[in-house]
A and B are shown apart, each in its own frame.
Chain A
Amino acid sequence: MLLISCPNCGPRDETEFHYGGQAHVAYPESPNDLTDREWAEYLFYRENTKGTFAERWVHSTGCRQWFNMLRDTVSYEIHSIYGMGQPRPDIKSTGQSSEPTQPGEFTQAGEFGQAGEPGLAPGAASPTATTPISSEGV
């Protein structure tokens, strides 16, 4: 289970949170001008990085606020937690997984909840990524 440090509430179990998929996906600026390919990219294509990945989480059973996280998708180590309006912090390991470090060892970059994510259209501040919670097996 991940131990996630909510910027508002502090360290809490993963079960208190919900996943929001890739971070920094902006709503298209001129939706009417998009080609089918561009719509497909916006709706169905997300990065599927093996290594350091910027993603969104919401503290659904706590403060109910969204925030961003940089997490290694191989070691599951959390590198950084930062507010919705913040740009992706520049950490050195990208693309490839790093060695796991101590649990809870992360930096909390920036203030939480700043407005105006770069490239985000007005009114589109809520996460748009649809996370496949497909299950089954079988």
Chain B
Amino acid sequence: MSADHLPEHPDFLWRNPDPKKSYDAVIVGGGGHGLATAYFLAKNHGMTNIAILEKGWLAGGNMARNTTIIRSNYLWDESAAIYEHALKLWEILPEELEYDFLFSQRGVMNLAHTLGDVRESVRRVGANRLNGVDAEWLDPQQVKELCPILNISDNIRYPVMGATYQPRAGIAKHDHVAWAFARKCDELGVDIIQNCEVTGFIKDGNRVTGVQTTRGTINTEKVGLCAAGHSSVLAEMAGFRLPIQSHPLQALVSELHEPVHPTVVMSNHVHVYVSQAHKGELVMGAGVDSYNGYGQRGSFHVIEEQMAAAVELFPIFARAHVLRTWGGIVDTTLDASPIVGLSPVENMFVNCGWGTGGFKGTPAAGLTFAHTIATGAPHQLNKPFALERFETGALIDEHGAAAVAH
């Protein structure tokens, strides 16, 4: 095919400006959270003289590596509040951002395989309902009706004993979400600066006044960290510590298949979660690699184990082929809840610790973090997620509680 038969290059969705000498605020990290934060800073707080600094390309980190599951069926009140707020924002964002990023509310099922799972799940359904989060308990027959390809027989190691189901949960196209936010940010005047790595901070006493980057020094009134797996590295540059461990988290897709999987199925007990992307790939993920790692890759046995679990639950996957596997670096905390709030450095704010599950939280992270940066105080929703909770002991322990596997 000759060049004149190729379609026109689509319009660029954002400019690629050079960094200015100074900004009112600088966001470090151009993933979903950095983009959403900048968007809400500009839209809700009128802060448009701001920049997002990204060391690689826009959304090349976890934002484009996650398995895109969105749900809000967390156990504790604090989590239910912030994740449900995020889900409500997901419901209006396609219109607000004028971009159809294929948010598909096809429901999410969390399978129970043991008596302990069943009790925890039924309790979580009750807690969710009290918090206004849609939640149902399904028996194995109802599970089968919603997802006919699931094996509910008792001839497997961990038979399906039921599931929780959140009908409003689902998936979205993560790269389109990033582009949607980026285009709006750009329209509002935000500078999105790629290939710009932050290498240090300039401080006056304990107050941050600027950032050093591979593209020069930039003065700024305020800094918001949205660096996911690299949060500890940036905090160290700024002179404080975070209670975070970075781990590889892997995922994989199969070749394209006809639509066979109507919903999203997660099993923490046998450790796999599966959905089918719009184009037809089966998308699967599992647990983190056990060791600390910044390598954006993990060990193959983790993939092997999640495939074994998937094939047992979905026998028809046995002959599907893996197309590719990849890894991201996730910022885990010991209570499996994020940190969104002030930092020990004046005018520097942290949003991190979303770990293996922060895609779903993107809009609420952006909204509350923007509020925190603009006003210097947390929003009602992120108040409980302050760094101090590791000292006060007011942890929000979602390990095992929120269908976060342990």
Contacts and interface: CB of A to CB of B under 8 A. Distances in A.
Nearest to A74: B294
A134 B293 CA distance: 14
B146 interface: no
Interface in B259-293: 266, 268, 271, 273, 285-288, 290-293
A132 B268 contact: no
Report whether over half of chain A's contact residues are helix, strand or loop; otherwise say mixed: loop
Interface in A119-137: 130-137
B315 interface: no
A137 B273 contact: yes
Given A46-B245, A138-B67, A133 B288 contact: yes
B249 A137 contact: yes
A43 B299 CA distance: 28
A29 interface: no
Q: Which of B66, B243, B249, B273 has the most CB of A within 10 A?
A: B243
A132 B273 contact: no
Contacts of B245: 21, 46, 48, 131-132
Interface residues of A, number: 37
Contacts of A74: 293-295
B225 interface: no
Contacts of A1: 299-301
Contacts of B69: 137-138
Contacts of A97: 294
A134 B251 CA distance: 15
Nearest to A51: B294
Q: Which of A13, A45, A138 has the most CB of B within 10 A?
A: A138
A1 B403 CA distance: 27
Interface stretch (B10-18, B202-210, B215-223, B329-337): B329-337
B391 interface: yes
A135 B290 contact: no
7 contacts: A2-B291, A43-B334, A132-B336, A134-B288, A134-B399, A136-B287, A137-B249
Interface of B: 66-67, 69, 71, 108, 230, 232-233, 241-247, 249, 251, 266, 268, 271, 273, 285-288, 290-295, 299-301, 332-334, 336, 355-357, 359-360, 390-393, 399, 403-406
Interface of A: 1-2, 13-15, 18-19, 21, 36-37, 39-41, 43-46, 48-50, 53, 55, 71, 73-76, 97, 130-138
